[in-house]
Amino acid sequence: MSITSQPFGQTPDGAPIERYTLTNAHGLDAAIMTYGGTLTALRVPDRDGVFGDIVLGFDTLAPYLGDQPFFGALVGRFCNRIAGAQFTLNGTTYLLARNDGMNHLHGGPHGFHRAIWHANERPSSEGPSLELHYLSRDGEEGYPGNLSVTVIYTLTDQNALRIDYTATTDRDTVINLTHHAYFNLASSDILNHELQLDGTRFLPIDETLIPNGELRPVQDTPMDFTTSTVIGDRIASDDEQMRRGQGYDHTWVMDKPAGALGHAARVYAPDSGRVLDVSTTEPGVQFYSGNMLDGSLAGKGGAIYTRNSGLCLETQHFPDSPNQPQFPSTVLRPGETYRQTTIFQFGVRV
């Protein structure tokens, strides 16, 4: 196993960006750059032992600097949406950037996906490990408090990509971090991938994709992935929720105990035999079926990313939690430590 690094260009203001490649004992490798803490490549074998890159992205830095849909990035301070781009905490209302209609999305236009993270190789008995750190200053994107964030990527010798997050603050604030990889376990689109989600309830959304506060059972809806189901089977259903999301763009409520590391999802690609299992400590998983990919982006090797070219399984707290007190709290206070672990485990089915 090893970690190597190389320059990966520079930002318009001249800041250098590094890309680190983690390789485990079985030859799997993950490439992570300091811009956005972004996972730019992840190579795993198929059922025939042929390695392939299973995440969407770009070959060079420049496209990541432009308007692109968070390919592989760390997302914060608050992933997903906050209604009306504002929230009230301790009697003070904080105004955030409106970058999704009237709402705030994924930490704002200059969120963590635009930050330059400080990287250090980290000793680990599990496999090659990279530690990233970022200090989000008080007032950044409208959020209160200096927030110190550490994210550790480990490519384990059990063929898993483990992501551990911690954060502390000097003022009461809100936090909701996630990873925004777009997975495609085969060479075609993801509509023939099979998905299982360990959640018997989901969060219905309004016309602006904000949860309405209900925890609705998935039974007898297109949201029922309690058993492995082909993603394309119901994605075009004449269902209000499917119309609002233009496909799947919803949060599933995990059935596991709160805060416990447990299994959340499984994806299987019949074409390649690749299997992805997701475990997390988070109470929800946002399943996004790549509905907004419109063919305007040329990715790795010139590949054109069209609708459903990739899928996201974003482990997180619920969207708009600061405005919906019935949801699990996303408030972080001085003296507390935010912790989250998500594990992407890779395998094959013959």
What's the chain's length in residues?
Answer: 350
CB atoms within 10 A of CB 51: 12
Please say if 193 is a catalytic residue.
no
- Please calculate the CA angle 131-134-137 and round it to the nearest 5 degrees: 165
Buried/exposed code over 227-236 (b: 16+ C-beta within 10 A; e: otherwise): eebebbebbe
Look at the block and give the residue holding tokens 């990035």.
73
Options 140, 141, 194, 314, the catalytic residue: 314
Contact 239, 248 (CB under 8 A): no
Contacts of 166 (CB under 8 A, 6+ apart): 149, 150, 337, 338, 339
Please say if 314 is a catalytic residue.
yes
- Please calculate the CA angle 299-57-133 and round it to the nearest 5 degrees: 150
Distance, first Cα to last Cα, the chain:
26
Q: Residue 289's closest CA among 316, 250, 233?
A: 250
Copy the structure tokens of residue 32: 């992570």
Cα dihedral across residues 213, 218, 224, 227: positive or negative: positive
Options 179, 180, 250, 317, the catalytic residue: 180
Copy the structure tokens of residue 108: 């704002």
Q: So which residues are the catalytic ones?
A: 180, 314
